[in-house]
């Protein structure tokens, strides 16, 4: 089974890009499924179901969604195998820009949008810097110059990535992404696979439910701001 | 300028990324003696990525391979019913071709094929040939953004900057040295197109629809490297469209206009008719059509006159 991890900041167009790409792939009649990871709630699984795409939803609740992702990806992979899926796509929201859901050897896609501003590529961590493919969306509503500066900044932070421009509404460019999905590696399991980069860390009193403010309550992995 | 990647010394490069460094004027290697793994992890990067990024920044300034596109041949594939397209079309710099056809007929698909440099590997099976040779796989990505620039009336400036800062940022990303000259040229020509004057200090967000479009068109003509310009409708109101086309033609662009607007469609020497996902036929614009265009343009000018009169608080009446 081929596994593809798709990540990107909230509302950057991940669901639209995946939806349009699957539409483009469907003519090839292969079994596809999407696993949607999110935090509190989402209606995206309904969007997929409406399109007739097999979907599973994982909500991380109060946990870091990235950690939740990596704790569940193995089980998701097995589910995909059991369901005879040929291409399994995971969609995870990069909520803090320090997310790092990409796995070595597994095709990784980061979706970012032109509306987020020209300097945004510089502010995004491993999910952009270590992606194989960077999809840039919403190019139809900003000026050509801003599009060029944006793509240029992506290229500087991740020189190796292939950059694709996809219009999530018309689907322009999605067929090309679909073609790249076929180049993803096939795996029988995820044994011995490693993350491309460490995930955001946290292990302090607040992780365990502390709500009081003040030095006396800071326990664990704590970092102090330089003022 | 703040936030620009133009600053090339290692100190600026790293501090801009967010690293807190003690001394200036050290080499990247020297800084790495100071930067430990924890710092790298905090920033979500590693040494290898920083070197790659730093090198990419410099290569961008050194090579800038000038892709001179002399011709683009679109070889017919298949329409939505799988029937063979009977025509090929050859596009050359300085020419205007309009794409006509109902919504959903396949104009976007054709443009996507060009952008992707399709090699019979898209749903249409079309093949794009540049300068008479098939682009190889590695080239396909090196062209990336560079092949087609787009203009449409749905586009806005979202940047929080004034006109000068905006032009500088674009010029810097293109490694253009004579920025002051470019600034002058762009503001002058954009004002020629726009009707209502604006200056280098005007914030982008304060520009009117017509002024924004004028600035975008002139910016594409003078600062965008893409050999092809795709125009997906531009406003009728308050902008000299004929002059706009002249700028782009003089900049040796291949101009494709996907439009339902008769004036724009008729400005092209040739019209490519798209039907049912396929290139259906090519119509050459002749003298009698030019007369229709003249008539429409005359009407446009009259409307413009009335618009200006109303804007200036005058009364209007029939001749």
- The band of B4, judged by pLDDT with boundaries at 50, 70 and 90, is very low
- A212, two tokens: 């009081």
B53 close contact with A: CB closer than 8 A: yes
Chain A neighbors of B159, CB-CB under 8 A:
117-118, 146
Q: Compute the half-sphere exposure of residue B104: CA atoms within 13 Å on the CB side of its CA.
A: 0
Contact B157 A146 (CB under 8 A): yes
**Averaged pLDDT of chain A:** 89
Inform me whether the C-beta atom of residue A27 falls under 8 Å from chain B C-beta atoms.
yes
What is the pLDDT, as a whole number, of residue B32?
A: 86
Q: 10 Å Cβ neighbour count for A62?
A: 9
Contact A91, A33 (CB under 8 A): no
Cβ atoms of B214 and B194 closer than 8 Å:
yes
CB contacts of B107 in chain A (<8 Å) are none
Say if the Cβ atoms of B45 and A155 lie within 8 Å.
no
CA angle (A182 as vertex; A124, A93 as ends), nearest 5: 30
SS (H, E, C) chain A: CEEEEEEECCCCCHHHHHHHHHHHHHCCCCCEEEEEEECCCCCHHHHHHHCCCEEEEEECCCCCHHHHHHHHHHHHHHHHHHCCCCEEEEEEECCCCCCCCCECCCEEEEEEEHHHCCCHHHHCCHHHHCCCEEEEECCCCECHHHHHHHHHHHHHHCCCCEEEECCCCCCCCHHHHHHHHCCCCECCCCCCCCECCCCCCCCEHHHHCCCCCCHHHCCECCCCCCC
Going by the DSSP 8-state scheme, the letter that residue B125 receives in this structure is -
Q: Please write the tens of the pLDDT for every residue from B208-255.
A: 888 999 999 999 999 988 888 988 877 766 678 888 999 999 999 999
Which of B87, B59, B55 minimizes the C-alpha distance to B73?
B87
Report the pLDDT value the prediction gives residue B3, as an integer from 0 to 100.
40
Asked if B122's CB is within 8 angstroms of A157's CB, the reply is no
Contact A144 B224 (CB under 8 A): yes
Closest chain B C-alpha to A79 CA, distance in angstroms? 31
* Chain B residues touching residue A130 (CB < 8 angstroms): 49
What confidence tens digit (pLDDT) does each residue in A45-101 have? 888 888 888 999 999 888 888 889 999 999 999 999 999 999 999 999 888 888 889
The 3-state DSSP class for residue B90 equals: strand
Instruction: Classify domain A2-200 at the CATH superfamily level.
Output: P-loop containing nucleotide triphosphate hydrolases (3.40.50.300)
Residues of B in contact with A166 (CB under 8 A): none
Q: pLDDT band at residue B275, thresholds of 50, 70 and 90?
A: very high
Residue A95 near chain B (CB below 8 Å): no
pLDDT digits (tens, 9 = 90+) for A130-181: 999 999 999 888 999 999 899 988 988 998 899 998 989 888 888 889 989 9
Query: What does the alpha-carbon distance between residue B185 and residue B218 come to, in Å, rounded to a whole number?
Result: 9
- Is A125 at the interface with chain B, CB within 8 A? yes
pTM listed for this prediction:
0.83
Q: In terms of CA atoms, which chain B residue is nearest residue A151?
A: B145
Q: Do B112 and A155 touch (CB under 8 A)?
A: no
| Paired tokens of A111 | 């979706």
The interface residues of chain B toward chain A in range 95-124, judged by CB-CB distance below 8 A, are 108-109, 111-112, 115-116, 121-123
**Distance of alpha carbon B5 from alpha carbon A8, whole angstroms:** 23
Answer with the residue of higher pLDDT: B237 or B166: B166
Q: Where are the domains of chain A?
A: 2-200
- The answer to whether the Cβ–Cβ distance between B60 and A156 falls below 8 Å is yes
Specify burial of residue B178 (Cβ count, 10 A radius: 0-12, 13-18, 19+): exposed
Which residues on B lie below 8 Å from A202 (Cβ)?
none
**According to CATH, where is 3.40.50.300 located in chain B?**
94-101+144-285
Helix (H, G, I), strand (E, B) or coil at B116: helix
Q: How many beta-carbon pairs under 8 angstroms link A with B?
A: 120
For domain B94-101+144-285, the question of CATH label 3.40.50.300 is answered with: yes
**Per-residue model confidence (pLDDT) at position B65:** 55
Query: Distances from the Cα of B127 to the Cαs of B122, B247, B277, in angstroms?
Result: 9, 30, 15
* A92 half-sphere exposure, CB direction, 13 A CA radius: 26
Q: What is the pLDDT of residue B1?
A: 38
């Amino acid at each position: 089974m081929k596994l593809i991890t798709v990540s990107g900041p909230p509302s950057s167009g991940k669901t639209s890009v995946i939806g349009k790409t699957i539409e483009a792939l469907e003519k090839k009649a292969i079994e596809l499924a999407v696993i949607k990871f999110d935090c509190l709630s989402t209606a995206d699984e309904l969007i997929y179901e409406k399109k007739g795409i097999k979907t599973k939803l994982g909500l991380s609740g109060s946990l870091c969604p990235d950690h939740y992702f990596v704790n569940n990806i193995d089980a998701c992979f097995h589910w995909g195998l059991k369901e005879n899926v040929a291409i399994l796509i995971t969609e995870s929201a990069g909520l803090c820009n320090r997310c790092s859901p990409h796995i070595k050897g597994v095709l990784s896609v980061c979706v970012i949008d032109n509306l987020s501003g020209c300097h945004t590529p510089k502010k995004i961590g491993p999910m952009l810097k270590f992606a194989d493919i960077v999809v840039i969306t919403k190019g139809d509503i900003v000026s050509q110059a801003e599009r060029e500066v944006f793509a240029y900044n992506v290229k500087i932070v991740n020189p190796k990535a292939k950059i694709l421009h996809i219009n999530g509404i018309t689907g322009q460019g999605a067929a090309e992404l679909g073609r790249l999905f076929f180049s993803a590696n096939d795996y029988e399991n995820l044994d011995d696979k490693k993350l491309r980069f460490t995930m955001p860390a946290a292990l302090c009193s607040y992780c365990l439910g502390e709500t009081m403010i003040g030095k006396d309550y800071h326990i664990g992995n704590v970092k102090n701001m330089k003022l | 300028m703040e936030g620009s990647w133009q600053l090339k010394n290692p100190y600026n490069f790293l501090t801009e990324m967010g690293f807190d460094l003690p001394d200036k004027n050290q080499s990247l290697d020297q800084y790495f003696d100071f930067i430990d793994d924890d710092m790298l992890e905090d920033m979500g990067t590693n040494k290898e990525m920083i070197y790659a990024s730093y090198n990419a920044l410099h290569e961008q300034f050194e090579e800038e391979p000038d892709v001179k596109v002399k011709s683009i041949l679109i070889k017919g594939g298949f329409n939505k019913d799988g029937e063979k397209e009977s025509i090929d079309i050859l596009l050359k710099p300085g020419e205007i071709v309009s794409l006509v056809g109902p919504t959903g007929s396949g104009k976007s698909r054709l443009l996507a094929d060009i952008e992707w440099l399709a090699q019979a590997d898209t749903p249409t099976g079309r093949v794009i040939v540049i300068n008479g040779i098939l682009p190889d796989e590695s080239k396909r990505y090196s062209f990336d953004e560079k092949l087609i620039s787009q203009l449409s009336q749905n586009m806005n400036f979202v940047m929080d900057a004034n006109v000068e800062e905006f032009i500088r940022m674009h010029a810097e990303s293109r490694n253009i040295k004579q920025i002051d000259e470019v600034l002058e040229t762009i503001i002058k020509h954009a004002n020629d197109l726009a009707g209502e004057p604006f200056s280098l200090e005007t914030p982008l967000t304060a520009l009117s629809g017509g002024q924004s479009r004028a600035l975008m068109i002139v910016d594409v003509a003078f600062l965008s490297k893409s050999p092809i310009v795709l125009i997906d409708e531009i406003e009728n109101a308050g902008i000299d469209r004929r002059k706009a086309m002249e700028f782009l033609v003089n900049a040796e662009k291949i101009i494709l206009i996907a439009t339902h607007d008769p004036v724009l469609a008729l400005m092209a020497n040739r019209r490519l008719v798209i039907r049912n996902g396929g290139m259906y036929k090519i119509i050459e614009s002749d003298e009698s059509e030019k007369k229709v265009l003249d008539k429409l343009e005359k009407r446009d000018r009259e409307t413009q006159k009335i618009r200006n009169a109303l804007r200036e608080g005058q009364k209007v009446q029939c001749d």
